[in-house]
Amino acid sequence: MQQPLVAPKEDPDDMDLQKLIAFYDETLGFCPNSVKTMHIRPKIAYAFIEMNKAVMENQGRVTSALKRLIGYVTSHVTGCRYCQAHTIRAAERYGAEQSQLEQVWEYQTSDAFSEAEKAALDFAVASASVPNAVDDAIAQNLRTYWDEGEIVEMLGVIALFGFLNRWNDSMGTEMEEGAIESGQTFLAVKGWTVGKHRYD
User: 169, 75 in Cβ contact below 8 A?
Assistant: no
- CA separation for the pair 128, 47 (Å, rounded): 22
pLDDT band at 88 (very low <50, low <70, confident <90, very high): very high
Residues 179-194 have pLDDT tens digits of 999 999 999 998 999 9
Sequence-separated (6 or more) residues with CB below 8 Å from residue 196:
1, 81, 169, 172
- CA separation for the pair 5, 13 (Å, rounded): 24
List C-alpha distances in Å: 116 to 66, 98, 132, 161: 11, 18, 21, 21
Query: What pTM value is reported for the model?
Result: 0.94
Per-residue model confidence (pLDDT) at position 99: 96
Average pLDDT over residues 97-103: 95
Residues 61-79 have pLDDT tens digits of 999 999 999 999 999 999 9
Across the chain, what does the average pLDDT equal? Answer: 94
In the chain, the domains with their CATH numbers are 15-190 (1.20.1290.10)
Q: Which of 2-6, 20-24, 53-57 has the lowest mean pLDDT?
A: 20-24
Per-residue model confidence (pLDDT) at position 13: 85
